[in-house]
Amino acid sequence: MSRPTTASPGAGTGAGVVDVAASPASAGPASAAPPHVLMDVYGHPGLAFVRGRGCTLWAADGTPHLDLAAGIDQNIMRLGKAAEKALMVITDEPTSMTDAYAFIKVLKGHAPNVEPVIAINQAVDRESGRRTYEAVARACQTFLGFRPSLAGIVLKDPKVSDCIRRQKTLASVDPNAQAIHDIDRIAEALVRGHEGLRDAS
């Protein structure tokens, strides 16, 4: 079985990338829809979740993806250390940025082979999202001696809060929302590996 990819959101990211994008487990992957109802505008990111249980989502290729809580709790770090990549989902809130930096620092100390990758969530615009990423990346470069990759930026969408209240996914309410396209691009960058992450940054 493939090693898992983890998503460790910072504080204040209740609508993390996995939560916003994932379809209900019973619905199957988005690619299961009849091809004649899909417009091939953005293409498919190559990452389709086919089932889920608890905090784990399985991709079509069998790779498990874990949605972890914020912080550096022992259990969270144990799962993070078992992954190939750890995706930090960060907002511009100071607590989120601090949590992400702490997670990266501890992770690099105990599992240097795990690749930390950053995604910015709930950004007002691309420029502000880029500033948030740069703040964390500079801290990592200054104090840890490396610069984590940027997987992408998800723009803030007021429909996300409404979906949370209604206990629905954004994809089921508005599949053409900008946040969905942003998430697709992040998934594509992760699937493509270093090349995709360089393009995203």
**What confidence tens digit (pLDDT) does each residue in 72-120 have?**
878 778 878 888 888 899 999 999 999 999 999 999 988 899 999 999 9
Q: How confident is the model at residue 187 (pLDDT cuts 50, 70, 90)?
A: confident
What element of type H or E holds 175? none
Q: Which residues contact 83 (CB under 8 A, 6 or more apart)?
A: 3, 4, 5, 6, 66, 114
Residue 42 CA to residue 34 CA, distance in Å, equals 16
Q: Which residues contact 170 (CB under 8 A, 6 or more apart)?
A: 20, 21, 157, 159, 160, 163, 177, 179, 180
Say if CB 170 and CB 159 are below 8 A apart. yes
Strands ordered across the beta sheet of 5-9: 49-53, 56-59, 64-67, 5-9, 85-90, 115-123, 149-155
Query: Residue 57's CB: how many other CB atoms inside 10 A?
Result: 24
Q: Which domains does the chain have, with CATH numbers?
A: 5-37+45-200 (3.40.50.300)
Listed range (29-38, 47-56, 118-127) with the worst mean pLDDT = 29-38
Residue 44, pLDDT score = 52
pTM over 0.85: no
Better-predicted residue by pLDDT, 159 or 197: 159
Q: Is 60 exceeded by the pLDDT of residue 30?
A: no
Residue 176 CA to residue 181 CA, distance in Å, equals 7
Q: Is 50 exceeded by the pLDDT of residue 6?
A: yes
Residue 60 CA to residue 47 CA, distance in Å, equals 7
Alpha helices in 28-93 (DSSP H): 74-81
